[in-house]
């Protein structure tokens, strides 16, 4: 049985425009539908993108065609670098946040615009999630964490309490970050890594314990 929606979360009342038509867009589209939203269609430079091939929804044009469109929209590309480049040139002011009904978001958490939160994800007390971030399937964001804008917390990752992650960072599949750790902007945390000390801006770390 789905968890009850929390009072601080957005109600999706207008059809959503998906910016991207690949694998991550497929996940976002399904979560949005399960949350009761309607998908207006998607934009992708590839006319044969996955959403079109599967018949999930209609391709409305290339990404450039988003200009001048009205209605809420969400970036549906998983790659952090590509998301950053698109965010710089597309109008994301009317950003939709999509939260899978099987996610848990604390009523004291703050979730920004354009965020995607996947099934089984947990956002605990007083956590803050920046605009256009991804908290993917089964990821755990513990109490008082701060997640920067356009950061991707990959499936199965676990962030202990009071972790801070800067904008544009990737925390890879199944990675763990010890409580109180700070990760800078533009960093990459490898899949399965265990982060036991602070990570600087634009650094790449991997392994157990995680090193550069």
User: Active-site residue numbers?
Assistant: 143
Q: Dihedrals φ, ψ of 65, to 5°?
A: -75, -5
Decide if 98 contacts 119 (C-beta within 8 A).
no
Tokens coding 44:
């992708």
Cis, peptide link before residue 73, omega less than 30° from 0: no
**Which DSSP category does 27 fall into?**
H
Buried b (16+ CB within 10 A) or exposed e, 176-201: bbbeebbbbbbbbbbebbbbeeebee
């Amino acid at each position: 049985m789905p968890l009850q929606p929390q009072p601080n979360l957005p109600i999706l009342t207008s059809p959503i425009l998906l910016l991207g038509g690949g694998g991550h867009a497929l996940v976002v589209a399904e979560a949005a539908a399960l949350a009761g939203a309607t998908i207006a269609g998607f934009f992708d430079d590839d006319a044969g993108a996955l959403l079109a091939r599967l018949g999930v929804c209609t391709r409305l044009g290339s990404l450039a065609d988003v200009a001048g469109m009205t209605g809420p929209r969400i970036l549906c590309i998983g790659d952090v670098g590509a998301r950053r480049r698109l965010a710089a040139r597309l109008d994301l002011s009317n950003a939709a946040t999509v939260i899978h009904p099987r996610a848990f978001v604390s009523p004291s958490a703050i979730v920004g615009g354009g965020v995607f939160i996947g099934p089984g994800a947990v956002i605990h007390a007083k956590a803050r999630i920046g605009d256009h971030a991804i908290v993917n399937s089964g990821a755990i964001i513990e109490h008082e964490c701060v997640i920067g804008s356009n950061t991707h917390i990959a499936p199965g990752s676990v962030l202990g309490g009071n972790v801070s992650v800067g904008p544009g960072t990737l925390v890879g599949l199944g990675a763990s970050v010890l409580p109180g750790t700070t990760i800078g902007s533009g960093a990459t945390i490898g899949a399965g890594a265990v982060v036991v000390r602070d990570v600087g801006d634009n650094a790449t770390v991997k392994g157990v314990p995680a090193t550069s």
